[in-house]
């Protein structure tokens, strides 16, 4: 135990081994849905469900452990939401407008983008990008992610639902998932107000238990056959035949992963107190390296881009402050391969039953077991907004747009992109262009070109 404490600096960070373990378990509980969501999404382009499940767990475990041992941060990683849909429906999709690559070629594209990330991490390029972000965006990204997390939690709990007239509306407040979600939010809030450690994890377990007892969360049936059919199945030849489309896909994966990772590191880093008054994240290059290496390993195993997860904020809220929590999360992913039926209880989607639509119809995913944790954690991430200079339009508007576009655009990277573009533009047009780092202008131009030509 003493060596463990010395290696991770647990006592020096103000934490304990118990808090780190609880934090790691909490993070895994809130992101365990990816174990089943990821193979479900990639199955749409013909990939074997059981093999993608194994690839998801292996790549997430590798990236989490590497993050914990190398960067010593409690940031968890797994195949990213958003990147997986882009992979399955745009890169490997067969409908008009899709690129039409095989999933083997798609994995090759992901692997190349991972290599690019890796090289940039080795030379510190991504770390410098983190350091040139203005304070107004750094103070807005964390709360924006908080709003995003809370919005997702409200959807997953059924408190808000889709509406053809207004896009979202209030859900059925008398339905089972909504009631157990409200129960979870109240329980977690009370436990945290009483300063009871592990309140978030206790809330998740209690909510899942109540859901099972009341049959709101039905006991899953698990019959998937696990395999290694996607491991080592890269295909380079297709990329040469369609090099133009492949290049576009690599660039898009680059932007998506870059800004998802930057957003998570800034947002969770602010919440945990890693980012000081100088606006820098210590050991950021190591964190970026773990993220990039995870993507490479994930592609070799058979899954889409691996990236840092905003759900890491739940572990931090539960008390995690060191890399031991990330290692615990990684070990949980390995255990999930064997204990998949248990993980399904937390990660199953029960949306159709609540929204009264057919199982094959579009609906917002429902995970009431973890929805309360996301709502509470979203609230906990609001604090940095008070540091934004709301009296200065050139600072306030980019911060506001970062928050608004991340939530309503339903993507972390889109919110950061709009924030960067608006910051550079409004500063330049108001004669305060010297307040913008030259790299920010380059980023803004690149993002404008991306919207103009690559969407």
Give the distance, in angstroms, between the CA of residue 333 and the centroid of all CA atoms in the same chain: 15
The alpha carbon dihedral of 196, 202, 204, 207 has a sign of negative
Calpha distance 243→274 (Å, rounded): 41
Give the separation between CA 128 and CA 319, rounded to whole angstroms.
Answer: 29
| pLDDT at 221 (0 to 100) | 62
The whole-angstrom separation of Cα 302 and Cα 110 is 10
- CA-nearest of 139, 145, 352, 111 to 250 is 111
- Percentages helix, strand, coil for the chain, rounded to the nearest 5? 70, 5, 30
For residue 223, being part of any structural domain is answered with: no
Do 302 and 57 contact (CB within 8 A), yes or no?
A: no
Give the pLDDT of residue 271: 83
Q: Does a structural domain hold residue 228? A: no
Compute how many other C-beta atoms are within 10 angstroms of the C-beta atom of residue 390.
14
With respect to residue 369, please indicate whether it lies within any of the assigned structural domains: yes
Per-residue confidence (pLDDT) for residue 364, from 0 to 100: 64
pLDDT tens-digit series, residues 189-217:
999 899 776 788 788 889 989 998 998 88
Predicted TM-score (pTM) of the model is: 0.74
- Check: CB of residue 319 under 8 Å from CB of residue 197: yes
At 381 the pLDDT is 80
The pLDDT, as a whole number, for residue 365 is: 67
Two structure tokens written together for 196:
């009871």
Does residue 129 fall inside a structural domain? yes
**Residue at 231 is within a domain:** no
Residue 237's pLDDT is 92
- Is there a contact between 55 and 302 (Cβ–Cβ < 8 Å)? yes
Strand partners, 340: none
Dist CA 136 CA 394 (whole Å): 9
Residue segments in the chain with a per-residue pLDDT below the cut of 70: 96-97, 126-127, 129-130, 197, 220-224, 341-365, 454-455
Query: Is 148 a domain residue?
Result: yes
Amino acid 351: pLDDT: 62
Question: Cα separation of 397 and 406, whole Å?
Answer: 14
Q: Return the pLDDT at 353.
A: 58
Residue with tokens 């209030």: 170
Assigned token pair, 81: 């939401």
Phi-psi category of residue 124: left, alpha or beta, with phi > 0 → left and psi -120 to 50 → alpha:
left
Question: Taking the chain, what is the end-to-end CA distance rounded to the nearest angstrom?
Answer: 51
Quote the tokens at residue 60: 């997430």
Q: How many structural domains are present in the chain?
A: 1
Specify if 370 maps to a domain: yes
- Report the phi/psi class of residue 303: left, alpha or beta, with left for phi > 0 and alpha for psi in -120 to 50: beta
- Does residue 229 sit within a domain? no
Closest to 282 in 3D by CA, of 265, 257, 295: 265
**Domain around 347:** 2-217+236-454
């Amino acid at each position: 135990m003493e060596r463990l404490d010395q290696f991770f600096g647990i006592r020096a960070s103000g934490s304990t081994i118990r808090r780190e373990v609880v934090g790691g378990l909490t993070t895994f509980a809130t992101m365990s849905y990816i174990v089943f969501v990821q193979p479900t999404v990639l199955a749409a382009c013909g990939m074997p469900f059981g093999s993608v499940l194994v690839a998801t767990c292996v790549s997430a475990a590798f990236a989490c452990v590497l993050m914990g041992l190398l960067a010593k941060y409690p940031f968890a990683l797994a195949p990213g939401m958003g990147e997986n849909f882009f992979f399955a429906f745009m890169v490997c999709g067969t409908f008009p407008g899709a690129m039409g690559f095989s999933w083997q070629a798609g994995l090759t594209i992901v692997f190349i983008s991972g290599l690019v990330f890796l090289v940039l991490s080795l030379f510190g390029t991504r770390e410098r990008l983190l350091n040139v972000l203005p304070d107004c965006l750094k103070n807005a990204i964390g709360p924006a992610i908080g709003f995003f997390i809370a919005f997702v939690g409200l959807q997953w709990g059924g408190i808000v639902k889709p509406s053809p007239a207004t896009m979202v509306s209030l859900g059925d407040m008398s339905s089972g998932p909504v009631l157990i979600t409200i129960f979870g939010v109240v329980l977690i809030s009370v436990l945290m107000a009483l300063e009871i450690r592990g309140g978030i994890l206790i809330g998740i377990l209690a909510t899942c238990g109540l859901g099972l007892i009341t049959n709101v969360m039905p006991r899953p049936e698990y019959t998937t056959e696990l395999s290694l059919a996607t491991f080592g199945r890269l295909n380079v030849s297709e990329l040469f035949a369609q090099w133009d489309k492949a290049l576009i896909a690599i660039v898009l994966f680059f932007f998506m992963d870059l800004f998802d990772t930057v957003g998570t590191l800034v947002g969770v880093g602010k919440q945990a107190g890693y980012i000081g008054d100088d606006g820098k994240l210590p050991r950021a290059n190591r964190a970026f390296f773990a993220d990039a290496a995870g993507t490479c390993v994930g592609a070799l195993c058979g899954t889409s881009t691996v990236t840092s997860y905003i759900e890491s904020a739940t572990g931090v809220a539960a008390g995690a402050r060191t890399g031991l929590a990330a290692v615990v999360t990684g070990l949980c992913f390995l255990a999930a391969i064997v204990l998949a039926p248990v993980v399904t209880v937390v990660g199953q989607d029960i949306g159709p039953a609540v929204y009264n639509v057919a199982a094959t119809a579009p609906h917002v995913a429902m995970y009431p077991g973890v929805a309360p944790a996301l709502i509470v954690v979203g609230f906990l991430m609001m604090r940095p907004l008070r540091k934004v200079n709301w009296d200065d339009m050139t600072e306030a508007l980019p911060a506001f747009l970062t928050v608004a576009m991340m939530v309503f655009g339903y993507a972390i990277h889109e919110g950061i992109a709009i924030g960067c573009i608006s910051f550079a533009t409004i500063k330049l047009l108001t004669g305060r262009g010297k307040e913008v780092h030259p790299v920010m202008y380059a980023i803004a131009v690149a993002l404008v070109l991306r919207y103009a030509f690559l969407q």
